[in-house]
Chain A
Amino acid sequence: MACFVTVGTTLFEDLINQVLSEKCVENLKKVGVKSIKLQIGKGNFEKSTLDRVFGELADKSDQGKANYQGINVEFYRFKPSISGDMSEAFIIIGHAGAGTCLEALALQKPFITVTNDKLMDNHQTELADKLSDDGHLLQCTPMTLADSILNENLFKLRPFKPAAKNLVAEHIRELVGVQKLQ
Chain B
Amino acid sequence: MFFFFFFVTAVILFGILLVTAFLSFLVRHSNHSSKIKPKKANASLCAVLGSGGHTTEMLELIKNFDNEFNMRIYIIADTDTISEDKAVAHEKSRNNEKFVVEKIPRSREVGQSYFSSVFSTLNSCRFAFKLIYRTRPDLVLLNGPGTCIPVAFAAAFFDIIRLIDTVIVYEESICRVNKLSLSGAILYYLGMVDSLIIQWPELKKRYPRAIYIKDFKEKST
Contact = CB atoms under 8 A, between A and B. Distances in A.
Contact of A163 (B68, B173, B199, B219): B199
B175 A178 contact: no
A111 B67 CA distance: 39
Main secondary structure of the interface of B (DSSP, over half): loop
B69 A165 contact: no
A178 B40 CA distance: 5
B214 A176 contact: no
B175 A127 contact: yes
A60 interface: no
Interface in A125-169: 126-127, 129-130, 163-169
Given A176-B43, A176-B167, A177-B39, A164 B216 contact: yes
A180 B39 CA distance: 12
Contacts of B173: 98
B211 to A, nearest CB: 8
Interface in B173-209: 173-178, 194-195, 197, 199-200, 202
A120 interface: no
B213 interface: yes
* Range class of the A interface residue count: 20 to 34
A175 B176 CA distance: 24
B194 A99 contact: no
Interface residues of B, number: 44
Main secondary structure of the interface of A (DSSP, over half): helix
B214 A163 contact: yes
A171 interface: yes
Contact of B66 (A129, A170, A181): A181
A181 B67 contact: yes
A174 B194 CA distance: 12
Contacts of B1: none
A171 B63 CA distance: 14
A124 interface: yes
Interface stretch (B52-60, B89-97, B117-125, B149-157): B52-60
Nearest to A98: B175
B61 A169 contact: yes
Top-4 shortest CB links A-B: A177-B37, A169-B64, A167-B216, A163-B213
Given A169-B61, A176-B37, A178-B68, 14 more contacts: A99-B53, A127-B175, A127-B177, A129-B177, A130-B202, A172-B195, A174-B37, A175-B167, A175-B195, A177-B37, A177-B40, A177-B43, A178-B43, A181-B66
